[in-house]
Structure formats: C-alpha cells, structure tokens
Structure 1
Amino acid sequence: MRRVAHGVQRQGWEQTNASLGLTYNATPLADGRVLSYWREGPFYDFDLDEILALEQAAATLHRMCVAAGDHIVAGCPRRDRTVRRESYLSAECWPDTCLLAKIGVPEYAHEQVIRTWFDGDKDAWTHADKDLFGAHTHAPQTPDYSPSVYGRFDLWYAGKGSTPKLLEFNAQTPTALLESAVIQWSWLEQTGQTHHHERQWNGVHEGLVEAWRRNMAELRAARPWLPERPTIYFAYETSETSGEDRMNVAYLMETATQAGFPTELIAMSQIGVDQVDGSVRFQQGQFEVGPQIDVIFILYPWEWLWNEEGGRPIFRNMADPTKRGTVWIEPPWTAALWSNKGLLPVLWELFGDKPEGELLLPAYFEKPATMTSYAKKPIWSREGANVELVRDNVPLVANAGEYGREGFVYQELRELPSFPGAEGDCHPVLGVWMVDGEPAGLGIREGVGVDGLITRNDAHFVPHTIGSHL
C-alpha cells in the first residue's frame, strides 16, 4: 500500500466527474476558498495480496457481525415471549437488561427490529416462536423477507505486514457509493495508459444490480401477491442541500432500474401514513394520498425516524401479520444492530479472545481505568461528529456535534496511517463495500493533518489501483 502523489491530472476532470453524477465536489469554506472533495492526481496503489487480505477480513467481519446481531436480539425480553398488539407499548426492556434499550433503540421498535432480523431465516419461523412479533392469532406464520442490499466497513490498514482493524460498520446509510462505484472506475479507464495501471478492486456496480435481482426474487417468494416487478421507491432527505444524498440515491435507483425494476425518486416528506387503514403511501400533495408503497429504499437514518412522530405508525404498519405492510430497505435492524457504535464492544466481548479478534480493537461501554489511549465515540454519530481521540490521557483531536445523548463507547486508539502530501500528512481510512453480504470493492477517504485523524464530512475521496507501475 502506497500513496502515489504525482499522478497526472486529467484535463477537464471536474466536468467529467460532474457529468457522471459528482455534482457535490466543491465545498465553499469560511475563508473564501473552495475545497475539492475529489483528489485528482494522487491515488493509492495496492499489491494484489493486500486486496485479498482486505477482502478476507471483510468477509470474516461480516460473519462476526451476524453473530453479534444474534447476541443482541437474544437478550431482548421481547424475543422470548409471544407478543400481542395490546402489549405493543408496554415496558419490558431496560438498559441494564436489554442491549437494544442500552444503545437507545425505543422499545416500540424492538419487535420489528427482531422480526426483520430473522426474516429470510426459515428455521426461525418453524419452531415454538413461529407466531412471535405482533401476530394477532396462533396461526402458523411463513417466513417473510427484509432485504439488505449494501453497507460499508471502515477499516484501519497500514499495508503489507499489518492486520486490518475494524473502526466501524456503516450498515444503513453509507454514502461515497457513487464515487466508489462509478467515478473512480471512470478515472481508472481514463488514466490507465498514462498511469500504467489497469486494475482496481471494484465490483460494486455489478454486485448491486445482481443484489436487486436476488433480493427482490426472495421478497416475491415470501410475498407472492406482489407484482412480478414491483415499483421500488427511493427516498432521500431534501434538506441536505449539497446534492450528495440525492445523487447517491439516484445512483442506487439506476442499479435497480438496470436490474429490471420500475423505480421512482421521492422526498422523505412525500411518505405518508393513511389514517384509516395504516398503510404507508406516496403522498402526492398536502391532502392527496397516492398509491400504497410496497417497497422503498430510504437514505435516512432509522435512529432519526424512530424518534420522530411519524415513526410509530410506520412500525405498526411493519407489524402487519398478513405481511402486506411496506418493506423497507435497508431494514431497521441494519441501524439497530450494526450501524451504531454499540456493535464494537459487543464484537469485542464475543471475539476479543478468539483468532478473529485480531481484526478488532478492544472496545467497551465503560472505559477501563487502564485504557489511556482511546477513541471516544458516541453510540450514534455520523461523519465523525462528537468523536474524541485521546493519546496517553492527553486529548489529541475532537469534533463538535449534536450526538452523545445515548452514551459513548471507548475503542482502543489506532491512529490512521500517515502519508506525506502537499498540504500535510494524509490519513486514509479504507471503506470496504459489502454488497448482498459479500465484499465488493474499495473506496478511500483521507483527512489531512491532526484534524484528519478523524474522518469528517470534508475528508477527500482518493481513487486506488492494484499493481500500478507508476
């Protein structure tokens, strides 16, 4: 692994990238300068065996996360009894006895977090618990299906001779997808001859197209009343004004279109719940309720949604025992079980003393007295907000933000590698894309200087190659 600082810049690269969807490259700064999100010129180069090591690490981490998800839901009191709708709001889960409660998931959401976690696992629906999770009757239930299409492991890695370490799992709303799948691939094609390279770890696009086909086939097998090719709605939050969310969602929508499904792009504000029958519908105007939404992808954090007024009716609709409620992609378990920092101490508890534990950094809900160098991370946080790094009990760098109400985790400090750059030391974090549960490609973000040790929203995206001769 090396950072090649002297790559040739393409003529008109800004326009080329924008034509492919990277319309949010320029970020105005307070001092009047404009920051380029995309790094044109520098790139990272890997040997093939390094890429294979990253791929194997991601596959192993995914299996570990499945075990961690099982562990978290096993400790929820609502997992161990037949739940009736009349007990929907009764309190049974407390932070000292339920991990879901400890990490801030409201109790009314627990049942559907657990049910969607087990969707697709036929064994979970064929034994004594087959009428769990909101059934009105004792009639046997058949397996449902809650598709999960993609996620991203953020890894520390310093090259050959080092072992990748998990920093966190962005399992529900990871962005930088367009940059990873399309923009850097176009860069490779356009610069290969000049830069003497032709390979990149990038099967993200093809993987996404196939993931839509496979997951939608599984969904139709579980819900045969759906049309052969149901419309998949794609929703994003329009208050995000840079265009990043919209273009990432639009790109995902394009992969579903290429998979053969009709799609429609909507705003989160256009999702409504019918006050009569509780169905989730596309709201075309303030008083005009449109068709029912059978399948929808949202680039919107579940931890926001379940704390908003509209969250409860969505979860009631999801609990429909006839399975005619809306299917949400990504399902709520991706946020509740994986896309929060509470996953890190659970993984360490389960695997810290096992061979797989070499892929982890020690992590705890309470900081041990002996831990002097650590990253203090909010259980819920995005883009490095409210993260603090401490080295030998001395604060190193910290970010402001609005997170931390649900508490923090403490992860052993592993400072990102340093590579010399024109603006100072560059610190890359490696994002390994998981598509349909399989490692599919790599995207790299880098910060600069001490502040760059925490990967923030203004960190640059840098392309990569395998075996460049430059």
Structure 2
Amino acid sequence: MQRIAVTPRENWRERVESVGMLYHTIDGAPYWDESACYRFTRSEIDTLDIATAELHSLCLQAVEEVIRRDLFAKLHIPKEFAALVTDSWENDEPTLYGRFDLVWDGSGPPKMYEYNADTPTSLLEASVVQWFWLRETRPDDDQFNSIHEKLIRFWQRWPNLERTPVHFACAGDAMEDLGNLEYLRDTALQAGARTRRLYVEEIGWDSTRLDFVDLDHAPIRVLFKLYPWEWMIREEFGRHLTRARIRLMEPPWKMVLSNKGILPILWNLFEGHPNLLPAGFEDRPLPGDFVRKPLFSREGSNIEIHRQGSVTSTPGSYGGDGYIRQQYQPLPCFGGNYPVIGSWVIDGDPAGIGIREDATEITTNGSRFLPHFFVEG
C-alpha cells in the first residue's frame, strides 16, 4: 500500500461532473482529490476482500445475538420497534449495501473501525468516478471495484421488478445524499425497475388506508431511504412504520448494525478476532488509549481520541443516547495524510473500496476522497 502523487486530469471538475458528481468541491477545497492515489498489490486486495467477507459474516451473527438476547435497550432501539427489527430479520429481508471503515497500512490484518450499515455515502465516487479515472489515467492497471455491476444485479433479482415502483428518498437539503440517491436510482433503472424520487419531507401518511403515500397520493410499497433509521423512528410519522404495508431498504434489522453499540457486542462474541478492535460500553472501561464514540453519529461528529493523557475531539450534536469505547488504533500516516479504507458490501458480497483521507486522524464530511489501483503481486 503506497500513496503516490499524480497529476490531475485536465478539466477534472468537468470530467467528474459528467458522471454525476456535482459535490466534488467543499468550502472551496477539493473533496474529490486526484492529485494523489493509492497503489495496492493484488495480494493486498485479496486481504481486504477476505477481511470484508469475514466481518460481514460476524456482523450477521451479531444481529442474531441481539435478537436472541433482546439487547435492543442496550442499543437504545425503542421497545416498540423491536418486533419490526425481529420480523425483518426472520423474514430475511434483503440488504442492498453497507461500508466497513477499516484501518490498515498493508501489513497485518485490517481492523474494523465501524460499519456504516444503513446510510453509507461516498458510493458514487467509489463506484463510477474512480473507475473512469482509472480508465483514463491507468488503463493497464486494475481496481478493486465491482460495485456498479453488483448493484444492478441486486435490482435484477428484485421481485415484481417491473410492476411495483421503488420510491427513492433522501432529505431535501443534502446535495451529497441526493447525488448518491440518484446514482442508486439509476442502477435500478438500468436493471429494468420502475422508480420514483421524492424527498423524505414529501412522504405523507394516509390514515384511512394505513399507507405511506407520495405526492400523487400513490401508496409507497417499496422505499429506499437514504435517511437514518434512528431519525425515521423519531419522526412524526415514524410510529406508523410498525403497521404500514411497506418494505424499506435498508431493512429494519440494519438498525442493529448501524449502531456503534454493535462494536462491543462483536468484541464480546468474538474477542481476540484479528479483524476486530477491543470495544466496550461505558460501564466497562478499556485499559490504555481509546476512542469514545456516540452510539449514533455521522460524519465524524462528537468523536474523542483519548491518547497518552490528551484528548482530541470533534464538535457535534450527537451523544445524547450514550457512548461506547474502542481501543485506539492509529491510522497510517502518508506524508501527513491519514487514510481510512471504506470497503463496500453489495448484496452480501465484498465489492470494492474507496479511500478517504484527512490531515487529522478523525475522518469528517470534508475529508478528501482519493482513487486507487492495484497491480499484480
């Protein structure tokens, strides 16, 4: 694993916009950054592939454990939604995608920081944008990236594909979310699905028919929502989710995995596993340096690194539901840049990686996305 400085393509902004990425710049600085890239060997990619498949398997076992032992309160999942989670798990409701955030420098086993299991973003750049970068700049090399093909394959297997429209929704004020949502909707269209797009704020409730409805008052039977479960169940209409005739993606059982409380549960189940870091709830402090994370948080908010008596933290509005602690595992540093490897799971299978890096060890919404490639070896 190496970081290599490269020359950005001429008119790179126009090039990434042409494939749908309109949020390439944040606060005047590049978010999509092709002034450098990461180089891997095939054997390193194989290591990431195997670790991702293993972690996905462990997480599914952890969901089973949470349901079996009724640990919903531990995860601050309201009691009235426990049956919804359990039913979706027992009915094997499908999961489209998820992203593991891994710390790795190319040696030893990759370690799991967390699992973005419900509303992972940076999908468009991982799937399409870096693929076109590879084809235009390094056509003789390869990339760990089968995301696009696997997304389309997922939709092609969807029941009643051509008869029941899939509604796609996100918050109305989130450009990055909208870019990811439109990309996912496009993969469904390429698979032959009927789709409709709306904003979460536009979803209504028909109290007579007990249906969620769109702006045309048509019932929403399948909803892909790029909107966190912990927000949905607290919305005014959230209480109706337990009785509406609707299938959601990600499914309700992903509430368990999108919660950082899954980290101590995983460690309790599989203590010593080479791809896991020691983690515990706050009532069981960890020895040594640690990272304090809210059960629910997004984009690096309210993270605290406790290291050698000092604390590095980020602001935010999360933490009211509690925290967990995870053993501190430093990110590798490449010339003052700290990369996190986002490893994607599509329809249950490892599908590729995207790399975010920052000048600090806490990855935030403004952290840059860099492309990658691999060579034989």
Return the TM-score normalized by structure 2. 0.97
What SS does the corresponding residue of 2:241 show, helix, strand or coil?
helix
What per-residue deviation string (whole Å, max 9, x for no partner) do you get for residues 242-281 of structure 1? x111110000000001111111111112211101121111
1:368–1:116: structure 2 CA closer, same or farther, 3 Å change rule?
closer
8 Å CA contact retained: 1:229, 1:260: no
The reply on whether 1:299 has 2:226 as its aligned counterpart is yes
What SS does the corresponding residue of 1:441 show, helix, strand or coil?
strand
Partner Cα distance (1:370, 1:185) in 2? 41
Structure 1 residue ranges without an equivalent (≥5): 29-33, 77-98, 121-145, 221-226, 285-289, 318-324
8 Å CA contact retained: 1:43, 1:463: yes
In the TM superposition, 1:55-454 aligns within 5 A as 55-76=49-70, 99-120=71-92, 146-159=93-106, 161-192=107-138, 197-214=140-157, 216-217=158-159, 220=160, 228-240=162-174, 243-284=175-216, 290-317=217-244, 325-334=245-254, 336-353=255-272, 357-366=273-282, 368=284, 371-395=287-311, 397-420=312-335, 425-448=336-359, 452-454=360-362
1:468–1:399: structure 2 CA closer, same or farther, 3 Å change rule?
farther
One-letter amino acid of the structure 1 residue matched with residue 19 of structure 2: L
Partner Cα distance (1:103, 1:298) in 2? 21
Partner Cα distance (2:280, 2:101) in 1? 19
Partner Cα distance (1:260, 1:375) in 2? 45
Partner Cα distance (1:237, 1:368) in 2? 37
Offset of 1:368 from its aligned partner? 4.7
Partner Cα distance (1:277, 1:266) in 2? 20
Partner Cα distance (2:236, 2:80) in 1? 13
Partner Cα distance (1:18, 1:315) in 2? 40
* 2:45 paired residue number: 51
One-letter amino acid of the structure 1 residue matched with residue 319 of structure 2: G
1:261–1:393: structure 2 CA closer, same or farther, 3 Å change rule?
same
Partner Cα distance (2:165, 2:305) in 1? 45
What SS does the corresponding residue of 1:283 show, helix, strand or coil?
coil
Identity between Structure 1 and Structure 2 (%): 39
8 Å CA contact retained: 1:45, 1:468: no
Partner Cα distance (1:372, 1:198) in 2? 42
Aligned residues: 377
8 Å CA contact retained: 1:180, 1:442: yes
Q: Higher relative contact order by CA 8 Å / sep ≥ 6: 1 or 2?
A: 2
Offset of 1:40 from its aligned partner? 1.7
**More off after superposition, 368-377 vs 204-213:** 368-377
Partner Cα distance (2:282, 2:320) in 1? 15
8 Å CA contact retained: 2:285, 2:325: no
Structure 2 residue ranges without an equivalent (≥5): none
* 2:12 paired residue number: 13
- The CA RMSD measured in Å over matched residues stands at 1.5
Offset of 1:151 from its aligned partner? 0.6
Partner Cα distance (2:347, 2:111) in 1? 22
8 Å CA contact retained: 1:273, 1:314: no
Partner Cα distance (1:384, 1:330) in 2? 21
What per-residue deviation string (whole Å, max 9, x for no partner) do you get for residues 30-85 of structure 1? xxxx1110112200000000000000001011110011000001122xxxxxxxxx
Based on CA coordinates, which of the two structures has the bigger radius of gyration? 1
